Amino acid sequence: MANSASAKKRIRQNAKCRARNRWRKTTYRSAIKEYDELVLHGSVADTEAKLKDLYKLLDQTASTPAMHKNTASRYKSRLTAKLNAKKAGSH
C-alpha cells in the first residue's frame, strides 16, 4: 500500500490511464470485428467505407500510448489485404 501522497496520486493516475487505454483497445478491436463481418457478408462499397473509418480510428489510437504506430500500420496493411482479396474474389 502506498504511503506517500505522491505514490497515492500515481496509483490514481495509473488507474485512469489503464481504464482509458483499455477503452481504446476495446474500441478498435470491436471495429475490426465489425470490419471482418463486412468483408465476409457485406458489399465492397460498405467495406471500403468502414476501412476508411478504421484507418482514422487506428491512427488516433496510435497517437496515444495505447498502441505503437508500427502496430497500427501493420493492422492497416492486413485490413487492406483482406479488402483486396475480397475485390479479387468478386471479379
Q: What is the pLDDT of residues 69-82, one digit of tens each?
A: 999 999 999 999 99
- Terminus-to-terminus CA distance in the chain, angstroms? 63
Domains and CATH numbers, the chain: 5-90 (1.20.58.110)
Residues 10, 17 contacting (CB under 8 angstroms): no
Q: What is the pLDDT of residues 18-66, one digit of tens each?
A: 999 999 999 999 999 999 999 999 999 999 999 999 999 999 999 999 9
Give the global pTM. 0.87
Predicted confidence at residue 91, as pLDDT, reads 63
pLDDT at 2: 87
The confidence score (pLDDT) of residue 3 equals 92
Q: ∠ at Cα 70 (59, 55), nearest 5°? A: 25
- Supply the pLDDT for residue 1: 84
Look at residue 88 in the predicted model and tell me its pLDDT.
Answer: 92
